[in-house]
């Protein structure tokens, strides 16, 4: 289980809450929607794939909403839908993500770059901006963003994806302490390679290289734990064979003062 002391998290506080899950039609989003529903949460499944979002919503007894998270108005509309259909919003899992499909050299493609930044970074910024008024209206709540191990270390084969996931980590560490004062917690989950549609194009290569893939359900457990806990501003890694935990960032060296000679 995700807790560092191996004790199961108390999910009772999640019952009857309302959650918005972006990228909820497949992979980690779908697994988290199912896990939240099992904890008694009413779930709005938001995804660009409307048909699959409807299917997942049926499975969780929730609601589906078609949304492109790279569009600010679509994020606002998803939150408004949750408020109108469910009476409010308590939790937001900002999970939608794509790979870039290009680099920054000769293989650079502006459209692919904009798409990756729009979904992976704008989707978190826009989703947070849209969700905050709704969470404040409920007296507080929690946001969990899906980052990646690529948000904690450099990944030379995917520099653009790495850059936007680093940005999500930085956003989490910046907003977490500030929002906590309002009763709103902001954390990130940082999984390694997981068995999701995101890795479809290079799944065989990962397996040939000896990588063991995470199950989406393991990542979902950590996301739900972050919703149920009291932490804020933390980035939890999820790796095969390791117990999920907050990543320990080293402090930045402070300035040295030079003594003025007398």
Q: Show which residues are catalytic.
A: 161
d(CA 127, CA 119): 10
- Please count the other Cβ atoms lying within 10 Å of the Cβ belonging to residue 262: 3
In this structure, the strands spanning 91-94 and 141-146 are parallel
d(CA 125, CA 201): 27
The closest alpha carbon to 223, from 17, 2, 22, 62, belongs to: 2
The closest alpha carbon to 70, from 143, 16, 127, 13, belongs to: 127
């Amino acid at each position: 289980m995700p807790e560092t002391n191996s004790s199961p998290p108390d999910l009772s506080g999640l019952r009857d809450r309302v959650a918005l899950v972006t990228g909820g039609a497949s992979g980690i989003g779908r697994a988290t929607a199912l896990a939240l529903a099992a904890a008694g949460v009413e779930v709005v499944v938001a995804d660009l794939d409307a048909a699959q979002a409807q299917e997942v919503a049926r499975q969780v007894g929730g609601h589906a909403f078609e949304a492109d998270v790279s569009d600010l108005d679509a994020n606002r509309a998803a939150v408004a839908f949750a408020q109108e259909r469910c009476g409010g919003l308590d939790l937001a899992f900002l999970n939608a993500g794509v790979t870039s499909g290009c680099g920054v050299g000769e293989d650079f493609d502006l459209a692919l770059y904009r798409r990756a930044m729009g979904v992976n970074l704008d989707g978190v910024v826009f989703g947070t901006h849209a969700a905050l008024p709704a969470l404040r209206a409920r007296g507080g709540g929690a946001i969990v963003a899906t980052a990646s191990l690529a948000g904690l270390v450099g990944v030379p084969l995917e520099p653009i994806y790495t850059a936007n996931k680093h940005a999500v980590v930085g956003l989490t560490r910046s907003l977490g302490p500030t929002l906590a004062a309002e009763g709103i917690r902001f954390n990130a989950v940082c999984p390694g390679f997981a068995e999701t549609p995101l890795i479809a194009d290079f799944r065989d290569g990962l397996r040939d290289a000896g990588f063991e893939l995470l199950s989406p359900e393991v990542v979902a457990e950590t996301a739900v734990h972050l919703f149920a806990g009291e932490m804020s501003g933390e980035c939890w890694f999820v790796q095969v064979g390791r117990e999920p935990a907050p990543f320990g960032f080293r402090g930045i060296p402070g300035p040295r003062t030079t003594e003025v000679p007398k």
